[in-house]
C-alpha cells in the first residue's frame, strides 16, 4: 500500500534516490515517506515530485551535521 502511494508521488529518479537512502539511512527514508504521504493526503502534492524537489525535502528533514573541534595541547 505504502509503496503504491509513493509510486504515484515520485518520478523514477526521485524513487531511485529514496531507495538508495533507505539502504543507508532507513530512519531518514521513513521520515521522508511519512512526510510525503501526509502531504499528499492533505492535498499539498498534486503531481509527482522530481529528484531536485526530493533533495530539498531531504535537506529540510535531515538533522544538521555536528561540527567537532579538537583542541590540541
- pTM assigned to the model: 0.77
Distance CA 73, CA 1 (A): 57
Reported confidence tier of residue 23, pLDDT bands at 50, 70, 90:
very high
pLDDT of 16 higher than 90: yes
- What pLDDT is attached to residue 17? 95
Tell me the percentage of the chain whose pLDDT exceeds 90.
53
**pLDDT, tens digit, 9 for 90 and up, residues 34-62:** 999 999 889 888 889 999 999 999 988 88
Strand, helix or coil for residue 49: strand
For each of the domains in the chain, give its residue range(s) and CATH number, in order of start: 2-61 (1.10.8.140)
Amino acid at each position: 500500500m505504502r509503496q503504491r502511494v509513493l509510486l504515484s508521488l515520485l518520478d523514477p529518479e526521485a524513487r531511485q534516490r529514496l531507495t538508495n537512502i533507505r539502504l543507508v539511512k532507513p530512519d531518514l527514508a521513513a521520515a521522508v515517506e511519512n512526510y510525503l504521504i501526509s502531504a499528499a493526503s492533505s492535498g499539498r502534492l498534486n503531481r509527482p515530485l522530481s529528484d531536485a524537489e526530493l533533495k530539498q525535502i531531504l535537506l529540510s528533514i535531515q538533522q544538521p551535521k555536528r561540527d567537532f573541534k579538537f583542541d590540541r595541547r
